[in-house]
Amino acid sequence: MKSTVIANKDFTISKIDGRVYGAFLEHLGRAIYEGIYEPDHPTADENGMRGDVVDLVKKLNVPVVRYPGGNFVSAYNWEDGVGPREQRPVRLDLAWHTSESNAVGIHEFADWCATVGTEMMLAVNLGSRGVDEARNFLEYVNHPGGSYWSDLRIKNGRKEPFNVKLWCLGNEMDGPWQVGQKDATEYGKLAANTARAMRMFDKSLELIVCGSSNPDMASYPDWERIVLEHTYDEVNYISLHMYFANRDDNTPNFLGLAEKLDTYIETVASTIKQVKAKRKSKRDVYICFDEWNVWYHSNKKDREILEGNSGWPHAPGLLEDIYNFEDVLMVGLILNTFIRRSDVVKIACIAQLVNVIAPIMTEKGGPAWAQTIYYPYYFASVFGRGTALQLQVNSPAYATTHAAETPFVDVAGVQADDGTLTFFLVNRHTSESIETEVDLQGFTGGVVIDQQVMTNPDLKAVNTANEQDKVAPRKGDDAKIVGSKLSVNLPPYSYQMVRVR
Ligand code: AHR
């Protein structure tokens, strides 16, 4: 089987906002406790943060991390997480039916972000709270000093403000599972008022309003239209969330979900344009895809933990999906979609980063390791920065329940500022290799400088604490350039990255 791709240096989509490779950490399960924070761990630093996890996160070059939730934020009092640790209250977390010790709060999280070299993206609680909490939290976090909340921050040990620019106005406010769920009008008004108050403090903040929790919500996409009609002039982004599942073990259909993702982005982008036109606005609002990943492996275990609940445990092992090889392909497809839609998707967060539906897993007192999906995320985040190319892809296709035609070959191309070209290629064919030829029109140079391939005879192969490298990339050697044509063989069910200079 063959496919062809045309890459022309004059056909580009957009400069990619590096923040599209962001991540998310919620006070949920073992993401914070035993994930990033474990004071008794042999690798823990003076702040109790696990050094092995820091190393794995640093390699990913994560530009931004969303915190502290998620559903958790909708009944969270940020004040509980500041001040002397021994005086912090233990609270019941209604979202995940657990106890929250508050041993980690905004100060500890900020220090961890500085250690791993990432920016904070904070969410305010618009579920159980509102404008007042948001303005106080903002003053605590960003005001230099001389006011009640900023002086409290200084008293709590942090002289300089944290200077957080990115703020989420609540989380999944359309969801019946959310503490303080609202309808679109109610939420739109609250979000607009909160945004206005926050902008009175600092006009330059980047504010993110909640879109639908997923494209299957009954209120989608009217939710987006109504919420934006209230907030368009006040916000910079609307958030989208989507999780991907292969519950009926149908891999072709699972991988075809990338088409549904593309339609979701296209629909919300059109809604943004509709509201912009209606409001006769000159401003643009973009998409912040601040929760995405494969999520389903742990559903049964979570039901058992939550339904047979034995009280309010602290940091139980919730949402601990163990990812397989097939998920590498799905995550590669999702990231390719974000690159191709970099004209509208400016920020995105893999949900989540450690232990909870995450590329990094840890054992209490034991090792930390890279799950299978760590690798496509790593390749995109490290090498997928620059300008997205408008590729013309001709590939044989197949039908799924999501789209009549899903191409077997999925490609995204990026030109870095130094001219290096990087292609991310996924072959969705069950059994056939696909010879792919990329016509490099107008680009100078022509040497393959790297080829990283991920294949596996077992779609369900996983990495574990004992077998950490069962699914890992290997260096490829068959990508070649002859004249202006790059040829590369895509084995069945494979992911690869090819770089050309
Ligand atoms: O990421 C896990 C959960 O998924 C988040 O808390 C919530 O926002 C979403 O439903």
Among residues 172, 259, 320, 326, the one annotated as catalytic is: 172
| pLDDT above 90 for 309 | no
| pLDDT above 80 for 348 | yes
Any idea what DSSP says for residue 130? -
Same domain, 314 and 426: no
Ligand 1 pocket: which of 181, 217, 241 to mutate (most atoms <8 Å of CB)?
241
Any atom of ligand 1 within 6 Å of the Cβ of 302? no
ipTM over 0.85: yes
Tokens of 266: 């296209």
Nearest-angstrom CA–CA distance, 178 and 269: 25
Find the 168 Cα to ligand 1 centroid distance in Å.
14
Q: How far is CA 440 from CA 416, 485, 497, in A?
A: 15, 6, 16
Nearest CA owner, ligand 1 atom 2:
70
Same domain, 432 and 483: yes
Any atom of ligand 1 within 6 Å of the Cβ of 386? no
In a domain, 15, yes or no: no
Nearest-angstrom CA–CA distance, 501 and 478: 16
The question of whether 266 is a catalytic residue gets the answer no
| pLDDT above 90 for 387 | yes
Helix (H, G, I), strand (E, B), or coil: what is residue 488? strand
Any atom of ligand 1 within 6 Å of the Cβ of 352? yes
Same domain, 318 and 456: no
In a domain, 262, yes or no: no
pLDDT in tens, 234-278: 999 999 999 999 999 999 999 999 999 999 999 999 999 999 999
For helices 184-201 and 222-231, give the axis angle rounded to 10 degrees: 30
Any atom of ligand 1 within 6 Å of the Cβ of 190? no
> What domain range includes position 317?
20-257+287-334+345-383
Same domain, 362 and 421: no
Same domain, 369 and 418: no
Residue that is written with structure tokens 């006040």 in the block:
234
Atom of ligand 1 nearest to the CA of 70: 6
Confidence of residue 307 (pLDDT cuts 50, 70, 90): confident
Find the mean pLDDT for residues 99-113: 98
Same domain, 393 and 370: no
Q: How far is CA 392 from CA 3, 48, 414, 447, in A?
A: 11, 50, 14, 22
Same domain, 159 and 215: yes
In a domain, 423, yes or no: yes
Find the 338 Cα to ligand 1 centroid distance in Å.
20
Nearest-angstrom CA–CA distance, 183 and 189: 10
Find the mean pLDDT for residues 408-421: 98
In which element (H, E) is residue 428 found? none
Same domain, 450 and 323: no
| pLDDT above 90 for 450 | yes
pLDDT of residue 187: 98
Nearest CA owner, ligand 1 atom 8:
70
Nearest CA owner, ligand 1 atom 5:
70
**CA angle 277–282–283, rounded 5-degree value:** 105
Same domain, 202 and 310: yes
Same domain, 223 and 93: yes
Nearest-angstrom CA–CA distance, 47 and 54: 12
pLDDT of residue 306: 82
The question of whether 38 is a catalytic residue gets the answer no
Confidence of residue 308 (pLDDT cuts 50, 70, 90): confident
Nearest CA owner, ligand 1 atom 3:
70
Query: Which CATH number covers residue 401?
Result: 2.60.40.1180
Nearest to 213 by CA among 250, 175, 262: 175
In a domain, 51, yes or no: yes
**CA angle 491–403–13, rounded 5-degree value:** 75
The fraction of the chain above a pLDDT of 90, given in percent, is: 98
pLDDT of residue 186: 98
Any atom of ligand 1 within 6 Å of the Cβ of 293? no
The mean pLDDT value of the chain amounts to 97
Any atom of ligand 1 within 6 Å of the Cβ of 351? yes
Phi-psi region of 243 (alpha: psi -120 to 50; beta: other; left: phi over 0): beta
Ligand 1 pocket: which of 168, 171, 352 to mutate (most atoms <8 Å of CB)?
171
Confidence of residue 446 (pLDDT cuts 50, 70, 90): confident
Which residues neighbour 429 within 8 Å (Cβ) at sequence distance 6 or greater? 1, 408, 492, 493
Nearest-angstrom CA–CA distance, 399 and 308: 41
pLDDT in tens, 415-424: 999 999 999 9
In a domain, 109, yes or no: yes
Ligand 1 pocket: which of 177, 291, 293, 349 to mutate (most atoms <8 Å of CB)?
291
pLDDT in tens, 43-81: 999 999 999 999 999 999 999 999 999 999 999 999 999
Q: Which residues pair with 316 in a beta bridge?
A: none
Nearest CA owner, ligand 1 atom 9:
70
Same domain, 135 and 174: yes
How many domains, in total, are found in the chain? 2
Any atom of ligand 1 within 6 Å of the Cβ of 234? no
In a domain, 273, yes or no: no
Same domain, 375 and 432: no
In a domain, 157, yes or no: yes
Q: How far is CA 170 from CA 57, 212, 272, 286, 319, in A?
A: 26, 12, 19, 17, 21
Find the mean pLDDT for residues 341-356: 98
pLDDT of residue 238: 98
Any idea what DSSP says for residue 396? -
Nearest CA owner, ligand 1 atom 4:
70
The fraction of the chain above a pLDDT of 70, given in percent, is: 99
Nearest-angstrom CA–CA distance, 107 and 122: 12
In a domain, 203, yes or no: yes
Phi-psi region of 430 (alpha: psi -120 to 50; beta: other; left: phi over 0): alpha
